[in-house]
Amino acid sequence: MKNIDDLMTSAAELADRGLSKGEIADELNVSRETASWLVERSGKSTAAVAQEGPGGPEDIHVDWNAIGRDSNRLGHVGSAMADLLSKQGEEVDLTIGIEKAGAPLATTVARELDTDLGTYAPRKHQWDDDDMDDLGGTFSRNFAQIRDRECYVVDDTITSGTTMTETVQAIRDQGGEPVACVVLVDKQGTDEIEGVPVYSLVQVIRVGNDD
């Protein structure tokens, strides 16, 4: 995707397929607020949106399709992410991937570090226009369960940190202990979440003022 028109078109297509705004945010690697803004303006041209003046969301779209569509590239990136975690904890035998995009990355990380694999579906996947506080995330029963184990947490991007925070808390609620988190891209420059260190292959840092 090269411009805002492409993003709005993609958001509209995903909405037409029945995806919630939370799932659209996940697919486009943007915040929930940005996803909502894109869906609401998907029928307008860039010029029409520009005429609305300031007030749109401040966000950065991350497109890592060139990695995700090729299993060889994905494997190399997963190896690099695993290397960031390799010195974090000696008893870790479980890697949790945050669905959807974090799951394939977690698969390669788990293989590299020789751990079991689990996945977590965050509550934002159910979010549309209702209150997020009424929703809950879930660990898939098709994969390894927490069972009071230490674990790593893997996702593709950190946009606001809300999803990673939720996942860390959910793991602890299950009796597990997150030892470290790793992402492909961090938009926030996050060093730790809930006391858990966060590592990233790429950090995005805005330069300039808000005037």
Query: What is the residue extent of each domain of the chain?
Result: 4-51, 65-203
How is domain 4-51 classified at the CATH fold level? Arc Repressor Mutant, subunit A (1.10.10)
Q: Which of 14-28, 44-58, 98-112, 190-204 has the lowest mean pLDDT?
A: 44-58
Give the integer Cα–Cα distance in Å for 98 and 163.
Answer: 8
Q: How far apart are the first and last CA of the chain?
A: 28
Strands (DSSP E) contained in 122-175 are 138-139, 150-158
Letter for the amino acid at 77?
V
Strands across the sheet containing 192-193: 138-139, 116-121, 94-98, 150-158, 177-186, 196-203, 192-193
Domain 65-203: which CATH class?
A: alpha beta
Q: Read off the pLDDT of residues 135-171 as tens digits, 9 standing for 90 and up.
A: 678 999 999 999 999 999 999 999 889 999 999 999 9
Q: Read off the pLDDT of residues 40-93 as tens digits, 9 standing for 90 and up.
A: 877 654 454 445 554 557 788 888 999 999 999 999 999 999 999 998 877 899
Domains 4-51 and 65-203 share a fold: no
Letter for the amino acid at 62?
V
Residue 119 burial by Cβ neighbours in a 10 Å radius (0-12, 13-18, 19+): buried
pLDDT band at 20 (very low <50, low <70, confident <90, very high): confident
pTM check: above 0.85 = no
Give the integer Cα–Cα distance in Å for 128 and 132.
Answer: 9
